[in-house]
Amino acid sequence: METPAHPAILFDKVSRHFGEVRAVDDVDLEIRDGEFFSLLGPSGSGKTTCLRMIAGFDRPTAGRILLHGQDVSSLPPYERDINTVFQDYALFPHMTVAGNIAYGLMVKGVPRARREAQVQEMLDLVRLPGFGARKPSQLSGGQRQRVALARALINHPKVLLLDEPLGALDLKLRQQMQVELKSIQQRVGITFIFVTHDQEEALTMSDRIAVFHEGRLLQVGSPADIYERPASAFVAGFVGTSNLVSGDVARRMTGSDQTFSIRPEKIHVGPAGEVTAGNMYTVEGVIRDVVYLGLFTRYLVQIDGGSELVVIEQNLKSTSMDVLSARGQRVRLAWAKDHINVLAS
């Protein structure tokens, strides 16, 4: 595929300050055309403000936002070729489902017959055929979500923004919608920018992820990059669970004082004194707590001369009886040397 001349969205030193509060602070960001991009961060990290600035509901106090190379920083939302799926869906309660979906076309003055044909297409795309005559109040959360998606996609925007659209759905429906959103994105080929605080959601769906914290952009990368090579302690802790090893324990292993992170599922638990291969780091400790989670078990291990580490082991052979009786036992933890991720200090 040919690389397009301009990225879909480019943030050029963008800041949004509300008085003293730096909601977004000096962010440079490039979102490629056609990718599924997630803005990930805890609440108040600035990800939603970034989204609102892309949509045009908010304007940067400094810097520029470019849409396919064109500076849109001071264009109102109705002059940007961008559409949004809102967190609360924001469906017009006084219009039918079809009326909602057709709204963008009606505003543009598309003739009724063509509007109706496209609405039918969209209802098929989001798997709601025959729902056109209903009112939003007659739909379930998942169905409203699809209508909101159809209403945005019918305009064939250059970029589609999704503001935590799955937050209000229950787990099963959310997982189903994640798969569906991803497949719709691949079918329509539009750049999706997805805001979420759910790291699992971001990892599942995204081509690339940007992690935000306190208004700053910490790291941009593919899900594997972010998960396996977090650039900072915050990213390591926010995306998945991570153990940070520092001080004496770290020096004994790597010969350096630098903190490194190790993922809980990479750690192997064995009996104390067990002999391990040479390419492993090992440390002994006491199991302080055991949480049996069905598919796997989470151990909290207090390591000698150091902190507590979280370890996750799949319950391949063990039963709940086996794992729960492990509390208080001395164990040896081991992990492969190349599984650690040394953090920049």
Partner 1 sequence: MLTRVSTYLYRRPTLLLALLLGPPMLYMVVVYLGALFSLLVNGFFSIDDFSGVLVRQLTLRTYAQIFNPANREIFFRTATMAAAVTAADALIAFPLAYYIAKFASPRLKTWLLIAVTIPLWSSYLVRVYAWKLILAKEGILSWFLGVLRLTGVLEWVLELPGVGGSSLSLSPLGMFIVFAYVWLPYMVLPIQTALERVPASLLDASSDLGARPARTFRSVILPLSLPGVIAGSIFTFSLTLGDFIIPLALGNSKFFIGQAVYSYQGTGGNVPLAAAMTMGPVVIMILYLLLARRMGAFDAL
137 binds partner 1 (CB under 8 A): no
| Cβ count near 113 (within 10 Å) | 8
Among 38, 49, 83, 191, binds partner 1 (CB under 8 A): 83
Cβ neighbours, 10 Å, residue 263: 21
Q: How far is the CB of 249 from partner 1 (least distance, A)?
A: 50
Q: With respect to partner 1, which residue has the nearer C-beta, 57 or 330?
A: 57
Residues in 226-285 at the binding interface with partner 1, rule: CB under 8 A: none
Exposure string over 140-165, b if 16+ CB within 10 A, otherwise e? eebbbbbbbbbbbbbbebbbbbbbbb
Q: How far is the CB of 25 from partner 1 (least distance, A)?
A: 24
Residue 90 binds to partner 1 (criterion: CB under 8 A): yes
- Compare residues 162 and 245 and give the one whose CB is closer to partner 1: 162
- Closest CB to partner 1 among 108 and 187? 108
Q: Which of residues 40-79 bind partner 1 (CB under 8 A)?
A: 55-57, 76-78
Q: How far is CA 7 from the centre of its chain?
A: 20
The CA distance from 135 to 146, in Å, is: 14
Q: Does 188 bind partner 1 (CB under 8 A)?
A: no
Residue 84 near partner 1 by CB under 8 A = yes
Site size for partner 1, by CB under 8 A? 24
Which letter, b or e, does each residue of 173-206 get, where b requires 16 or more Cβ atoms within 10 Å of its Cβ? ebeebbebbbebbeeeebbbbbbbbebebbbebb
Can residue 94 be called a binding residue for partner 1 (CB under 8 A)? yes
From 2, 3, 93, 338, residue interacting with partner 1 (rule: CB under 8 A)? 93
Per CB under 8 A, the segment of 35-43, 82-90, 185-193, 235-243 that binds partner 1 is 82-90
The distance of Cα 262 from the centroid of its chain, to the nearest Å, equals 21
Query: Of 93 and 294, which has the nearer Cβ to partner 1?
Result: 93
CA separation for the pair 220, 39 (Å, rounded) = 9
- Residue the block writes with tokens 């979500």: 145
C-alpha 253/C-alpha 183 separation (Å) is 44
Per CB under 8 A, residues contacting partner 1 are 55-57, 76-78, 82-84, 86-88, 90-94, 103-104, 107-108, 151-152, 155
